[in-house]
Chain A
Amino acid sequence: MKRHLFALGLVAALSAPIPVAADAGDASALRETCTKAMNADPGFAKSIVIVAEKNYRKASYEQIERENKEIVANEQQQERFAKNERHVILAYAAMWVLAAGFLIMLWRRQQGLVAEIAQLHRDLAEATAEPAAPAKAPAKKPEKGETKPDPATKGDD
């Protein structure tokens, strides 16, 4: 029991951070003492190994757990990114909206132009046909102060 306590104390002393100012000779002396004690008593050596393994495993488990958490977080982030359809839909919708907008504008402008051309053709045809067919409307009696309109100056205003 005494030996075990000594061994634990020794392990704690060895695992504790060595002060910078510590003499290198002290550490090697402790190591040599420990080695001698372990060689002298296999049970003591075994207990040392058990404690050291326990500490190592604990540290390893903690590290593995940390790494696992990081991997899971990365995978989740990658999955979110890989399945992200929002931006693709947004981009395709933007293209279709712009194209549809341009098409509608084009079509409406074209329809307006067709109607305007037809109207202008009608107006011009009527204007050129007018001299052949004199105005059917009854001649309006000029009111007081109003001059009779001159056909030659029609539409000049």
Chain B
Amino acid sequence: MNRYLVPICASLGAIGFVLTIWMIFNSTPTQVDYQTDEGHVFLSGSSLFFNQKIFYYHVPHAFMLFAAVATSGIASILFLTKRVQKWDDIALATAEVAAVFGAVVLVTGSIWAKVAWDRWWIWEKRLTMSLLLWLTLIGYVLVRRFAGASADRLASGMAVFAMITLPFIYFMVGADDSHPQAGPDGNVATQDPRMRPTFYLSVLTFLLWFVALAAARIRGVRMEREVRELRERGLDAGVLA
């Protein structure tokens, strides 16, 4: 892996963070929805005013959660089929990063829910599925941490299972789903044009952040494996107790 990948992505991500923060609070409109009723204009129930600014962190984190889980799932499939260690390293590293992104999504989403619905949590379909996905990721991390080196195939199965839940979370939003949407018809591309540059920059920033974290963690996973191998060598040589 290129040794400059982590510093480059982290530096660009840091610049992106600064720009994003500035744009969120200076160039994006305060989200207010209107609806008309016989010539009168009323505030819509989806008007979130200043609180909608949570959107610019919450949704890109959800996108990165999806990207990390998909990467982990695909790497696990490749590891299960080809038995090449590097795929398992990628799967483990991205699963841990996904667990962090998932935690951010759930926490920021819960805070947003308090504003929008006046409740910290509701058992809405997308929220429940997201919680299940995050618990699966936590399970994966715990299995890798405590079940020993031989748990790699079991953990790979869990990563594939986590990946399978992604389309359900994304497409589960139907007419009866109360989860706020990125755009009026549930599509990010149809959101207010003044919101788009900030939103896309935010997605790019967190993509760089994800790549930097995953690359750093892959390096860490390889170092952990190196430690295990050195210990085994030490035991074989009689150096270590």
Determine the main DSSP class of A at the interface with B: helix
B111 touches which of A83, A91, A99, A120 (Cβ 8 Å): A91
B50 surroundings in chain A (CB, below 8 A) = 82-85, 88
- The total number of A-B Cβ pairs within 8 Å is 100
What interface size band does chain B fall in? 35 or more
Range of interface residues on A (Cβ < 8 Å): 35 or more
Contact (Cβ within 8 A) B227 A95: no
Out of A95, A106, A114, name the residue touching B216 (CB < 8 Å): A106
- A123-B240, A124-B237 given as contacts; is B111 within 8 A of A90 (CB)? yes
Return the chain A residue nearest B108 by Cβ.
A91
Residue of B50, B216, B217, B226 with highest tally of chain A CB at under 10 A: B50
Contact of B226 among A91, A106, A117, A127 (CB under 8 A): A117
Of B53-61, B76-84, B191-199, the one contacting chain A is: B53-61
B233 touching A95 by the CB < 8 A rule? Answer: no
Tell whether B135 is near chain A: CB-to-CB under 8 Å. no
B39 located at the interface, meaning its Cβ lies under 8 Å from any Cβ of chain A in the complex: no
Q: Do B111 and A87 touch (CB < 8 A)?
A: yes
Interface residues of chain B: helix, strand, loop or mixed (majority):
helix
Task: Please give the distance in Å from B147's CB to the nearest CB on chain A.
Answer: 19
Q: Given A98-B107, A116-B227, do A91 and B57 touch, yes or no (CB 8 Å)?
A: yes
Q: Which of chain A's residues has its CB closest to B116's CB?
A: A87
> If A94-B107, A95-B57 touch, does A123 touch B51 (CB 8 Å cutoff)?
no
* A94 adjacent to B108 (CB under 8 Å): yes
In the complex, whether A78 has a CB less than 8 A from a CB of chain B is yes
B177 at the interface (CB under 8 A from A): no
A155 near B239 with CB under 8 A, answer: yes
Q: Once the chains are docked, how many angstroms separate the CA of A98 from the CA of B107?
A: 10
**B124 surroundings in chain A (CB, below 8 A):** none
Contacts of B216 in A (CB 8 A): 106, 110
**B219 contacts which chain A residues (CB < 8 A)?**
110
Which parts of B212-230 form the interface with A (CB within 8 Å)? 213, 216-217, 219-220, 223-224, 226-227, 230
Looking at the complex, which one of B58, B100, B114, B223 makes contact with A113 (CB distance below 8 Å)? Answer: B223
The answer to whether the Cβ of B30 comes within 8 Å of any Cβ in the partner chain is: yes
CB distance from A79 to the nearest CB of B (A): 9
CB distance from B10 to the nearest CB of A (A): 10
A-B residue pairs in contact (CB < 8 Å), sample of 6 = A85-B50, A87-B51, A87-B114, A88-B54, A91-B54, A123-B239
Interface residues of B (CB under 8 A from A): 30, 43, 49-51, 53-54, 57-58, 61, 100, 103-104, 107-108, 111-112, 114-115, 209, 213, 216-217, 219-220, 223-224, 226-227, 230-231, 233-234, 237-241
